[in-house]
Amino acid sequence: MEIRCKTAEKDQLKAKPEDDSKLGFGDIFTDHMFLMNYEEGKGWFDPRIEPYQDLCIDPAAMGLHYGQEIFEGLKAYRGRDGGIYLFRARENFKRLNRSAARVCMPAVDVEVAMKGMKQLVLLEQDWIPRSEGTSLYIRPTMLATEPHLGVRPADEYLFFIIVSPVGAYYKEGLNPVKIYVEDRYVRAAVGGTGETKTAGNYAASLLAAEEAKKKGFTQVLWLDAAERKYVEEVGTMNMFFRIGEEVITAPLTGSILPGITRDSVITLLRNWGIKVSERSLAIDEVIGAAEEGSLEEAFGTGTAAVISPVGQITYKDRDYIVAGGEMGDLSQRLYKEIVAIQYGEKDDPHGWRERIN
């Protein structure tokens, strides 16, 4: 499929951020975006790059009413060698299609989406920041646009990709975060949509996160919806706990997001000969380990932060300090390894990286 490209006029171009160190997350958008449309019976059509602009959507667009909206999150990295790199990007579009299937939206052609994304990133390459830890965040999104108010899957969709230069995701940087174990609200139940990146999951998580923030926490750690007994994940990260010599993460039973960073961490740990278990982990086991001193490390994994070490876990109003409130050895090693692969500074035995320039 040919991608049409209409670039912005010179006098429409925005000023680029001058200071990489002041970049936040998701506030600045570039000059162009990728779009394509879908109609039932016709399929996806008119893949194109256009100047970044407001969308024109009917107020009855079904995605605005019944939540047929899915997205992805990945990054383009600028290496010190000038290379522009993607990390396991195809996996993001495969996951987008799994999300699509769950909420009755059409799959995209992974190759068309990849091509559109690469073309957009190359067009916007001067927006990719160069300082350490910075990147160009890529947000593919799909929304139901058919104007109709009966509840059923829509017949028309819009797929678009926008990109945003970003600094470090967490204000604390790599400093460990405090997490609050949430035992009232739940994020997702087995059988629901927890394993997809669909908008409603995030709406459902906001209140708990806001209440935790007011108490001074960065994130909530979700427990399983049925029993509030097993640890699942935090905000937009999967969770790992190192107890003694075992590293444990929740299994993919349907209520948690199958993170690409999670999968990369599991692969690296196994390569390093470290025992990793994808198994149910009771919060009582985590707290017991913290009390007896065998909870060596806890960390979240996700594209935005890569590895986010946890320095404190609070459960039923009691605080438990993890790894002395510092970043643990394994968290550090994983972070360095993954970042080095992403920025083209290390061998890539798993074929995770792709240079696009």
Ligand X SMILES: *Cc1c(COP(=O)(O)O)cnc(C)c1O
Beta strands in the chain (DSSP E): 4-5, 32-39, 43-51, 69-71, 74-78, 84-87, 135-144, 156-166, 177-182, 219-223, 231-234, 237-243, 246-249, 275-278, 295-302, 306-315, 318-321, 353-355
| DSSP-assigned states of every residue in 223-271 | E-TTTS-BEEEETTEEEEEEETTEEEE---SSSS---HHHHHHHHHHHH
The reply to whether 310 sits near ligand X by the rule CB under 6 A is no
Angle of helix 329-342 versus helix 260-271 axis, rounded to 10: 110
The reply to whether 238 sits near ligand X by the rule CB under 6 A is yes
- C-alpha 200 chain-centroid distance: 15
Contacting range for ligand X; rule: CB under 6 A; set: 44-52, 114-122, 260-268, 338-346: 260-268
The reply to whether 143 sits near ligand X by the rule CB under 6 A is no
Q: Which of residues 45-84 bind ligand X (CB under 6 A)?
A: 73
Cα atoms found within 13 Å of the Cα of residue 87, Cβ hemisphere only? 31
Considering beta carbons, is residue 62 or 265 the nearer one to ligand X?
265
The reply to whether 236 sits near ligand X by the rule CB under 6 A is yes
Q: Which of 147, 157, 90, 118 is nearest to 34 (CA)?
A: 118
List the one residue from 249, 261, 308, 312 that touches ligand X (CB under 6 A).
261
CB of 300 to ligand X, least distance (A): 8
Phi, psi of 257 (to 5 degrees): -80, 125
List the one residue from 70, 144, 220, 257 that touches ligand X (CB under 6 A).
257
Do the Cβ atoms of 252 and 195 come closer than 8 Å?
yes
Considering beta carbons, is residue 72 or 297 the nearer one to ligand X?
72
* DSSP state for residue 131 in the 8-state scheme: S
CB of 73 to ligand X, least distance (A): 6
Q: Could you tell me which residues are beta bridge partners of residue 152?
A: none
Which residue intervals of 106-198 are DSSP H helices? 110-123
Considering beta carbons, is residue 303 or 342 the nearer one to ligand X?
303
Considering beta carbons, is residue 197 or 242 the nearer one to ligand X?
197
Q: What is the dihedral of CA 71, 76, 77, 83, to 10 degrees?
A: 170
Considering beta carbons, is residue 134 or 238 the nearer one to ligand X?
238
CB of 135 to ligand X, least distance (A): 13
List the one residue from 133, 302, 328, 344 that touches ligand X (CB under 6 A).
302
> What is the rounded distance in angstroms from the CA atom of residue 156 to the CA atom of residue 159?
10
Q: Could you tell me which residues are beta bridge partners of residue 33?
A: 50
* DSSP state for residue 342 in the 8-state scheme: H
The reply to whether 314 sits near ligand X by the rule CB under 6 A is no
The reply to whether 303 sits near ligand X by the rule CB under 6 A is yes
Considering beta carbons, is residue 261 or 314 the nearer one to ligand X?
261
The reply to whether 260 sits near ligand X by the rule CB under 6 A is yes
Number of chain residues interacting with ligand X (CB under 6 A): 14
> Can you tell me whether residue 61 is helix, strand or coil?
strand
CB of 6 to ligand X, least distance (A): 31
The reply to whether 135 sits near ligand X by the rule CB under 6 A is no
Considering beta carbons, is residue 36 or 221 the nearer one to ligand X?
221
Considering beta carbons, is residue 300 or 328 the nearer one to ligand X?
300
Site string for ligand X, 203-222 (x = CB under 6 A): --------------------
The reply to whether 224 sits near ligand X by the rule CB under 6 A is no
List the one residue from 69, 124, 195, 233 that touches ligand X (CB under 6 A).
233
**Binding stretches for ligand X (CB under 6 A):** 73, 197, 233, 236-238, 257, 259-262, 301-303
